[in-house]
Amino acid sequence: MLSRMVVKFPAGPWELDWADTYKAGLQKLCEGNYGVCLLDYRLDDGQDGLQLLKMARAAGNQTPTIFLTAETDPALDEQALQAGAMDFLVKAEFTPRMLARSVRYAIKLGDTLEQLRLLATRDPLTGLRNRREFERLLADEWQRCARFQRPFALVVADIDFFKKVNDTHGHAAGDAVLKHVASLLTGQLRTVDHLARVGGEEFAIIMVETAAKDAQETIQRLLVLLAESPCALPDSAESVSVTISAGIAMMPEDADTTNALFEAADKALYTAKRTGRNRVVMATGAKHAVKP
């Protein structure tokens, strides 16, 4: 029935994919790039769509979802919305036109919510995560690593002489440098790592399941690459050389709280600045600054 309806939706063509088990449905929803999910309430083995949607949301999936069910209980409607559904349709009552309208509504609302999520979690200039989102990710990673006894590295980095760039070339040049550094770091880090802009010219990186030696070597490579990659200035033939200084702290060796870990990395960064810049310093050996 749905396959006959979907192909007639306006603004198509639309394709209908499906899964007939809870496990397959959850996997497809989390791995696929779908415009909308039409989710049945009653699933196999006594499981239901509410559970599936909650698990998908917990895994970070934000696909707009419409509940389809034979149930008419208003309480279920409310539960579906609380779980993250965009709409709730009773099978015996909806028509092709009603379903098409619900799909359009779900997509529009999903786009709006995604824009709000970006505003809440992303730095508007660089597109990186902002400080609030970074602190949430740091707390999550701390809990995960404490549970499974796996280390991670926290890097705090700062652009050297950034004020001089602004004073000499203007704030548009400063913005270009920030985006240049953000782009280079993004391109060189692993997809599992978390990069954020946490201050004016300050960046932070969570390097997941990384030993101290590997973290140090990675940041040294980034310092070399950045120093060899001048930033082109907007509306100018000029370019400026850009370097960064960095401090690294390890969990669990260097701190017993997330705040203490950030402070340890920040102190190592200060040592890198004080001892000449364009270098990386480990919190556990802050007196040993390593130049690229």
SS (H, E, C) the chain: CHHHHHCCCCCCCCCCCCCCCHHHHHHHHHHCCCCCEEEECECHHHCEHHHHHHHHHHCCCCCCEEEEECCCCHHHHHHHHHHCCCEEEECCCCCHHHHHHHHHHHHHHHHHHHHHHHHHHECCCCCCECHHHHHHHHHHHHHHHHHHCCCEEEEEEEECCHHHHHHHHCHHHHHHHHHHHHHHHHHHCCCCCEEEECCCCEEEEEECCCCHHHHHHHHHHHHHHHHCCCEECCCCCCEECCCEEEEEEEECCCCCCHHHHHHHHHHHHHHHHHCCCCCEEEHHHCCCEECC
Residues 105, 190 share a domain: no
Residues 104, 13 share a domain: yes
Pick the last residue of a domain from 92, 121, 150: 121
- Asked if 217 is an active-site residue, the reply is no
Residues 32, 14 share a domain: yes
Determine the pLDDT at residue 292: 53
Determine the pLDDT at residue 88: 87
Pick the last residue of a domain from 78, 99, 121: 121
Given the residues 141, 201, 217, 228, select the one marked as catalytic: 201
Residues 117, 16 share a domain: yes
pLDDT, mean of each 10-residue run, the chain (292 residues): 82 84 91 89 86 89 89 82 86 84 88 83 94 94 88 96 93 95 94 95 96 95 94 90 96 91 96 95 62 52
Is residue 106 in some structural domain?
yes
The total number of structural domains that make up the chain: 2
Determine the pLDDT at residue 289: 44
The model's pTM: 0.70
Residues 211, 247 share a domain: yes
Give the CATH number of the domain where residue 264 resides. 3.30.70.270
Is residue 94 in some structural domain?
yes
Pick the last residue of a domain from 55, 86, 121: 121
Domain hosting 88: range is: 2-121
Is residue 82 in some structural domain?
yes
Residues 270, 169 share a domain: yes
Determine the pLDDT at residue 273: 95
Is residue 126 in some structural domain?
no
